[in-house]
Amino acid sequence: MGLEHVPNKLDDELCFAIYTAQKIYNKFYAGALKEYKLTYPQYITLLALWETGEPMMIKELGAKLNLDNGTLTPLLKRMEKDGWIERNHSLEDARKVFICLTKKAKQKKCEIKNKMTSCFAAVDMTASEYRKDVELIKTIGKSIEDGNTK
C-alpha cells in the first residue's frame, strides 16, 4: 500500500523541503570548500577514495557516488588537472582505469576533514539528530526508488 498524498501547499511538500535543504547544503559546502577550490561532487569523490584507502575503478567510483559517466568523467578530469587524483591503467588490462589519490589529496585529508568539522560545529544539531536525519533521508530515498521499480 502506498502513501496517500494529494499535493496541496508548497511548504507541505517533502520534495520542496528536500530541494530547499539541498540548495542550502550546496551553498554551505561551496563556502567550506572554497579555499581548496573543490566542488561538492569533487569533495564526495575524495571522501569515497579516502574511505576505501585504495584505488577505485571509474565504474566502481561512479556506483558509489551515484554519478553517471557523463558527470563523472569531466569531474575526474578536472580533479586530475588540479592535482587531487591520478588515473592509472591496469597492467593486466589497459581498458581498466583506476582512480588514485595523489600525495596532495592524502596530505590535505585531515585539513579538509577538520575544516568540515569546524563548519558543522555551527549547525544547531546534535550528532544523534544528524545520524537520525541521515538515516531518515536514506529511508525516504530507498522507499521512492523501490516504489519506482515496481
Q: What is the average pLDDT score of the chain?
A: 92
Each residue's pLDDT tens digit, 114-129: 999 998 888 899 999 9
Domain assignment present for 109 = yes
pLDDT of residue 148: 74
Domain assignment present for 127 = no
The CATH number of whichever domain residue 101 belongs to comes to 1.10.10.10
Please give the grid coordinates belonging to residue 101: 589519490
Domain count, the chain: 1
pTM here is 0.86
Domain assignment present for 138 = no
Domain assignment present for 8 = no
Confidence of residue 24 (pLDDT cuts 50, 70, 90): very high
Q: Which of 67, 76, 121 is nearest to 98 (CA)?
A: 76
Give the range of the structural domain holding residue 49, as residue numbers without chain letter.
37-120
Domain assignment present for 90 = yes
Please give the grid coordinates belonging to residue 59: 565504474
Domain assignment present for 27 = no
Each residue's pLDDT tens digit, 51-74: 999 999 999 999 999 999 999 999
Coil, strand or helix: which one is 83?
A: coil
